[in-house]
Structure 1
Amino acid sequence: MLPSRFACREERLATEGRLKYRGTARVGLEVLHFTWNEPREPNQKSLDKLKMCFERGQCDRVSRNHIPVLIDQSQLDDVLHASQVSAERLLTNGADPHPELRFPLGFQLRCLHGRHRVLAAREVLPPQERWWTVDIYLADIDDELKKALVEEHSNEQPPSDGEIYCKIRKYQRKRDRYSEMRWWARLSGHGTRCLEQVSRHHDFKTAFDDLLDIPGLWGGMRISTLNRMISMNCDDEVLTYLTHIKDVWSQLLRHNKEAMLMVDQATVKAVELMAPKSSKRDAQALHGQLVSGQIFSGFNLESREIIWS
């Protein structure tokens, strides 16, 4: 039997992973770096849950929960030399403990996922215990492998329904059937049927697609309830509401698509049911959060004040 197209792709990713993998090591938390909002923005509920686990001593960072990181070969060579660790030792996965690598002051090791683990560990672990185990890959890995590593979710925080929907639509637009099906597989049978209903409803699908530019809006989505929305037979009202949501955020951010992408869920949650133009109390509360960076945290202070004006 000839291998399927999907199986061939899996094998290609596995081969690329073996070629670019350089080993496993312990590194200080201070060098672990995440691009803003990538792979997903911090979620306070998930962070608090992890902190509680870590405080109870439930912090398995040796045998499990490794964080994949990227580094240039030349930089890795320098670090290995400075740490007096051989490349062969790094690849000895059965070693306990894993070798410890020391990095220059200010060095940033790009992480592909594990943001919540790192944030929780930085807050809870004592100074001498602030390290994590990482799996090291060369920075020039194939985009497909990078994507697979980014989307490799541990039990740290399952993807939300909104994230699943956004990923499915993203890969449908790219005609990337393999990646699309990996995200469909995360849905229950009922969730799959609900999303298929929306996919067949052109107007609803278009309205939801218009909101993809604002990832912060998707935290509250429940795919399992979409069938109820359709069965209400209030299409015009629902579509008007979805359009209104897009219009409000577009006007607030002066139709700047790059700015819309930087709106996080914490900001959306904070402004829900608030009326700063009508309520002085709401205005004071929101402006205080804006100045402190609690909302619109991806923007600098000057940009936040422009949004407020």
Structure 2
Amino acid sequence: MKKILISIIMPVYKVENYLHTCIESVLNQTYSNWELILVNDGSPDNSPEICDEYASQDQRIKVFHKPNGGVASARNLGLDNITGEYVTFLDSDDFFHPDYLESLLNLGIQYSADIVQCGFIRGVEKTFPIINKKQEIKMVDNYDVFLKGYAKIIVWGKLYKKYLFEELKIPENKLFEDDFITWRWYFKAKKIVVTNKLLYYYTDNNESTMAGYEKKPRLDFMEAYEERIEFFKNISVKSMEDYSRMHFCKALLLTYENKMLTKEQRQYVYINFQKNWSNIKYSKYIPIHLKTLFYMFNIAPKSVSYILSLKK
């Protein structure tokens, strides 16, 4: 039987110090039937040359060069050129555990899953640390992945069936593109398998886009939550609408703590929190501990925010 092909999509931009570690983690996979699609998003450093060098040495590696358009446009170009039955994403400053592809594919086949999700580690290591952790596996549908708290609204760290991307490409020119699309892929999936096995390494990169956001905060993520809430409201799924509002409230509460927010931004965050809290304060789907936290924040946002910052 022919081995299943896995497509790996990797956007590349200003990562010459991380790129070798990242690509080598793919070359060192225990599962070998993959294609690595490197999309150079107009990187001004030596990353394009590094990509071309690896492609010249391994025919499984394909390189596409394009003008800079952002990570979403790079990922979409990758999606336009995949030939595998399964797809996964790898950020070019991160790397895989050697068993990443094999472990996720085996779970996907065993459970006939449309999405397989693993755990991840974050830090600044160059090799995957040895962690002995008993594997736990959960199988959920496209509702319980949200309602039971398994959903991770990030593109990477998952193996997807190819069909999920039909008519669901990543929105471009958005800072929080993961927030706009990942929940849609979850909801389209029929069966999702979640393992706590740590197979993806997220590198703390001070030069990344998200690190820049922390210094100059933007509120693009709010549009993504509002879009999701409106979607579930329109199809009359109260549990999912309330769940989405709950997570929006959590995100707003945490955003309120950001000391880099302007006075106008902080006020805008608080107003949107009040709006969504008023819709869920009597909901049976919201845990009591979160209701208590939201209630206190609604009354005294500065005090609650200060207490939370001390706990960090």
Q: Taking structure 1 as the reference length, what is the TM-score of the superposition?
A: 0.25
More RCO (CA 8 Å, sep 6+): 1
The structure whose residues are more often helix, as a share, is 1
The structure whose residues are more often strand, as a share, is 2
Q: Taking structure 2 as the reference length, what is the TM-score of the superposition?
A: 0.25
